[in-house]
Chain A
Amino acid sequence: MPRFLHTADWQIGRQYGRFKPEDAAAIAEARFTAVERLAALASAQQVDAVLVAGDVFDAQTVSDRTIRRLFNALQGYAGPWLLLPGNHDAALAESVWSRARRIGAVPANVELLLEPEPHLYPEAGFAILPAPLTQRQTMADLTAWFDQAETPPELLRIGLAHGSVQGLLAEEIDSANPIAAERAERARLDYLALGDWHGLKQIDARTWYSGTPEQERFKDNGAGQALIVEIAQPTSAAISPAAPRVTPAPIGTYHWQRWQADLRLASDAEALIERLQTLATNTVLRLQLSGTLDLSAHQRLQAALGVAEGRCRSLEIDADALRLTPTDADLAALQVDGYLGEVVAQLRERQQGDEGEIAREALVILADLLREQRSLDGEATCS
């Protein structure tokens, strides 16, 4: 039974500016690792071909080193890699593909699907109908020619395209590179491998988005996987055609998570601190804090966040909506007396204003300074 590995949107060469430099480097590096994992998976599953549905590269002009690294990462699988140009790496007059060929980086088992014409693999029993992008964007359905394309009846008809399926992905209705929702059926395809949508998504029995193999957004949409596709026989040859068997396989290294913590009660902070302790090391976390905290709880939370930051891959904190409300106990603990008490009160007030976060920061600084002072006093007392 023919078997394929369907993947897409590798976006090799993408950088992640929102993270700290070392995190950004690791996360970018993870995309190469994902490709190596795909190669390993393809070998292990003994697939007939790896279908890559566009956006292998994030840009046309990446460095030669990046091009070579990508093709080197394919070494783990010796079977055919079928690479389709997407909108990021369209087959333009001069493209990353022509560059790759010019520098001799493309191995023999890698097929670049730069022309919209059938590619036949009679020994393996399948024909590939690719819809490569030859412009950065097009408003025409590049898969339209599949309908008329003739292939030997004994071969599976596998479509490979990059774009948005019309009418299904609500938020991309007007997007470029449209693909008709019923293309698989109209073109009598056994499977239509799609790319562009970074999450994993099934369109119909024979049409799937595999999603990107390495997550790169805080969106829980099944990204970070690849699809193993098994097809019994060509639809045209079958009396009652069975749908292909599609199995997701996890590939990605990092888990991108977004937490929103609204801190109202003292226990809320403690719960968050506990939860932070459970974070896995491959987590890329974005934490949005809101609500109010007293100074001591804030200090504890800061400490816990410091620990968490050391453990997980990346921790991004958005505390703009968080307010600090020093309690009497806080003030006593910090020995806030005299006019400092007035300053603290004013800062607390100001958190409600236009530049609340600055007031909060000022409050944190003041609290830190006071703690420092107290600890100095403490030392002085001890000695």
Chain B
Amino acid sequence: MQLKRLRVAQLRRFQQPLELADLAPGINLITGPNESGKSTLVRAIRAAFFERHRSSSVTDLQPHGDSSAAPEVELEFCWQDQAWHLNKRFLARKRCDLRIDRLASAASTEASEALNGDEAEERLAELLGFSHPGRGASKAEHWGIPGLLWIEQGAGHELREAVAHAGNHLHSALGGELGELGEVASSSGDAILQAVDTQKKALLTATGRPHGDYKTQQQALEEQRRELTELDARITAYRDQVDRLATLRQQHAEDQRDKPWEALRAQQHAAQAQLDQVEQLQQVQRHDEQQRGPLQRQLDLLRDQLDGFEQQRKTLEQRQVAEQKARDQLAALSAREPALAEALAQAQAAYQAARARLQQAQRQQRRDSLQQTLAQLAQQLKALDHSLTQARKVQAELLEQRQQLQRDQIDPHLLEELRHAEQARSELEIRRQGIATRVRFELRPGQQLTLGNTTLADSGEELLLEPAELLIPETGRLQIIPGGEDLSALAREHQRLSERISALRAQLKVADLIEAEARAASEQTLTAKIQANQALLSSLAPEGIELLAQQQQALRQQQATLGAELEATSESLTKKPADHTRSATPNQALDADSALDPNQAEAQLETAHQALDLAEKAQKDHQLALTTAQSEARSSANERQRLQAELEAPERQTQLHSLNQALTDALAEQQILAQRIEARQQQIEAARPEILKQDVGRFASSAEQSESAARARELELNRLESHLEALSAEGLEEQRAECQLACEQLERAVHELERRAKALSLLQTLLRQQRQALTQRLQAPLQTHINRYLSLLFPHAGLSVDEQLIPHQITRTGNAGTEHELIDSLSFGAREQLGLISRFAYADLLQQAGQPTLIILDDALVHSDSHRLAQMKRILFDAAQRHQVLLFTCHPEHWRDLGAAPRELFSESSL
């Protein structure tokens, strides 16, 4: 379809007619500023097709304020070798004329066709695939395919509604294109699927678990099955009890008939009688056994007495032997005595000799040592004496020097001050001399004048520093007053200084400065001397002279003591050797003068001492042994005599005889008793009394057990009977039958529900699968067209289309990998771009299906960036190869590279 010409008149801002002629088959770029009438033209095209010419609700078409205007639209377009001419006038002088002419090139010779009014409008709706409203203005829901392809300002991104409105037209258009698929698009499939969903939901949850009635029934069935199991268990128990009852009854009858415990009791009694007999024997036996004890004790006693006698005899023998032995011992000891005494004497002598030698040696040693010490002492003393004398001399000097220093000491500050004062006074004196009033006199001899207190005679000169009275005898007085202020001031200063000097001299105890200076010099010399002497003294007597004197004293005393000792020692030495020589044994040749080693002497003494100890000990031991032997000899003799007397007494023999007789009698009696007991014991053992006792116990407990078991059985029987009576009343098996009944019925119901649920699931699955497959087949051609455009905008991207053939998800590969994004979540610009792409794809699809296509874009893609816009222009240009495109824009500069000459609306309207 190609729009050739458009003319509007009395329509909104175009009160004067406007015509767009020679519209191109591809892109037509219509530009103009805002409010130049672009949207009005779009509205005019829409009105020409969509609005009923009879409609009175299109007053918006009239120019503002002109209610009498008759808006008119005239269109010419080509479609399949036909030229269509449409002229439509609204509101006033309404009419609609459609003329369809064969083009000259057409082979057909058919005449042209003219349609009017509704008929014309219906033809247009059929051609383009839209519908008219029943009454009133045409709305989006009527626009069908043009609604999809004629894109209003700012609506490029909104696709869903447009597609929905185009749905039927699109489907029927596609149906033709897709051949048999048109039939496949089931008329009631979705309704059926929904019904199946609903029915399934009543039985199964979303996760396929039983729900509602199905669930209730299944739970009830489980409950019944549990109950059934429980009843079965109870019935089994009941049956076991019934069997037990039968057994018990039989046993009870046997018990009553046989009474087995009675026979057992009889056996018990027989065994008891036997046992009693044996016990009697045992009693007699015990009596005899008791006899045995006393008899034995008597025997033991007799034997003990006889043994005592025998023991005494043996003791006597032992005593005799002992006595002899003691005597022998005594004799031997006595014989050794003299030898021992001799040895002791010798040892003592040797010891004394050794001791004397040792003393001698020690004295000699002491003497030598004393002599040596004394020599040292004498030397020390000599040195000490010298030091002391020297020290005392130095000390005396020091004392004197210090006293002198004390005397001559002078305060250096005062001295300095005195120097200054003297100096100042001298200077003052000179100045006073200079200015003083000189009184020169030259008196006749013998004449005297008295100036002040001074008597002047002869000649001379007096300096008057202060007023003075010159008494001239007999003449009167002459008052001389020295002139000038200075003189009195100087006099005062002189006075002050003189006083100060006097004071200082007094303080320093000197007559004048020279003396003071001499004293200061003397002080210095003394101090140096004292220091030298102090050093000398501390070297001579570092700890003081007193200590030195004490040391000297101590040494002298020591010298005296040691001297005395040496004298004594020497004396004894000169005397002792003589003694020693006399007392020494001949074989011990000892030279008195020869030096005797004290250590050796000590060792000899030690040896002699040990020998003496041994000899003394031997002597002492011998004495002890001798005494002991004597006492032993005495006592053993006594003992032997006493025993001998006792044994030889006559009554003792008689006693021994009678004892022997009694022993013989007792032994005979014991033997008889033993024989009797032995015989009876055999009898008792043969009867096995312990076994008999066991028999009695065994039979008794068997009887007891037998009887109590019978009683227990009877008890159990009674209990079981009443228990079963109670159980029978419950009608367990009837309950079970009823339970089983409920179970089976529920099983059937559950089975039916299960089968229904499975059938519904199966049906649902198949319906969905088939529907899905169909949808995919329908989508395939659209997808092809979409991909053609999409690859220009987003290379390697995929755009998936939903069941309503609306793009809903884009898949792109970016830095973050493959990303799936819902179209609705994209930016406005991207949505508009994809919206246009989709519409172009629909147009392609429709064109293939032989439908007319015309694309109108009113100010599209204003939100696209330059890159995207460039791509979109390629897409648009590509689409325009197949479809006529009317592109209205107020931004001609954006579209300069679109390959189409822009038509400016402004200039044309001014025509």
Contacts and interface: CB of A to CB of B under 8 A. Distances in A.
Interface stretch (A46-54, A283-291, A299-307, A356-364): A356-364
A66 B731 contact: yes
Given A339-B770, A343-B770, A358-B755, A63 B741 contact: no
B773 A366 contact: no
Given A93-B245, A359-B762, A335 B737 contact: no
A65 B391 CA distance: 157
Contacts of A343: 763, 766-767, 770
Given A366-B192, A369-B196, A373-B188, A339 B774 contact: yes
Interface stretch (B140-148, B722-730, B828-836): B722-730
Contacts of B192: 340, 366, 369-370, 373
Contacts, number: 156
B254 to A, nearest CB: 15
Contact of A94 (B187, B728, B748): B728
A138 interface: no
A342 interface: yes
Contacts of A95: 242
A117 interface: no
A66 B187 contact: no
A340 B191 CA distance: 11
Contacts of A14: 737
- Size category of the B interface is 35 or more
Interface stretch (B103-111, B178-186, B474-482, B558-566): B178-186
A59 B734 contact: yes
A337 B734 contact: no
A316 to B, nearest CB: 10
A362 B188 contact: no
Nearest to B241: A94
Contacts of A18: 744, 748
Interface residues of A, number: 51
Nearest to A344: B766
Nearest to B184: A338
Contacts of A372: 195
Say whether chain A's binding surface is mostly helix, strand, loop, or mixed. Answer: helix
Contacts of A98: 728
Interface in B299-357: none
Interface in A4-59: 13-21, 24, 58-59
Interface in B721-758: 721, 724-725, 727-738, 740-745, 748, 755-756, 758
Contacts of A60: 242, 728, 733
A289 B43 CA distance: 70
Given A24-B741, A335-B187, A369-B196, A61 B727 contact: yes
A28 to B, nearest CB: 9
A359 to B, nearest CB: 7
B673 to A, nearest CB: 71
Contact of B774 (A21, A92, A338, A355): A338
Contacts of A247: none
Given A18-B744, A340-B192, A365 B731 contact: no
Interface string B644-657: 00000000000000
Interface string B757-789: 011101100110011011000000000000000
B235 interface: yes
A15 B740 contact: yes
A339 B186 contact: yes
A105 to B, nearest CB: 12
Contact of A362 (B183, B187, B760): B760
Contact of B737 (A13, A342, A370): A13
Contacts of B189: 338-340
A93 B249 contact: yes
Contacts of A94: 241-242, 245, 721, 724-725, 728
Interface string B799-823: 0000000000000000000000000
Interface string A313-326: 00000000000000
B734 A339 contact: no
A14 B736 CA distance: 10
A59 B231 CA distance: 14
Contacts of A13: 733-734, 737
A311 interface: no
A338 B196 contact: no
A58 B730 CA distance: 15
A347 interface: yes
Interface in B235-250: 235, 238-239, 241-243, 245-246, 249
A205 to B, nearest CB: 38
A99 interface: yes
B199 interface: yes
A366 B186 CA distance: 14
Contacts of B195: 369, 372-373
Given A66-B731, A343-B763, A361-B759, A17 B183 contact: no
Contact of A339 (B744, B748, B771): B771
B737 A59 contact: yes
Contacts of B742: 17
B186 A61 contact: no
B729 A335 contact: no
A271 B809 CA distance: 59
A99 B770 contact: no
A340 B740 contact: no
Contacts of A346: 766, 770
Contact of B184 (A136, A339, A347): A339
Given A60-B733, A61-B732, A373-B188, A15 B738 contact: yes
A100 to B, nearest CB: 10
A362 B762 contact: yes
A99 B238 CA distance: 14
B763 A366 contact: yes
Nearest to A19: B745
A171 B763 CA distance: 46
Nearest to A355: B758
Nearest to A366: B763
Q: 10 closest Cβ contacts across the A-B interface?
A: A338-B186, A17-B744, A59-B733, A63-B731, A361-B759, A339-B770, A93-B246, A93-B245, A362-B759, A15-B741
19 contacts: A13-B734, A15-B737, A17-B744, A17-B745, A19-B745, A58-B733, A60-B242, A61-B238, A93-B242, A94-B721, A94-B724, A96-B728, A337-B187, A342-B770, A359-B759, A359-B762, A369-B195, A370-B188, A373-B188
Given A338-B187, A358-B759, 7 more contacts: A61-B238, A61-B733, A66-B734, A92-B246, A93-B242, A95-B242, A365-B196
Interface of B: 183-189, 191-192, 195-196, 199, 235, 238-239, 241-243, 245-246, 249, 721, 724-725, 727-738, 740-745, 748, 755-756, 758-760, 762-763, 766-767, 770-771, 773-774
Interface of A: 13-21, 24, 58-64, 66, 92-96, 98-99, 102, 136, 335, 337-340, 342-343, 346-347, 350, 355, 357-359, 361-362, 364-366, 369-370, 372-373, 377
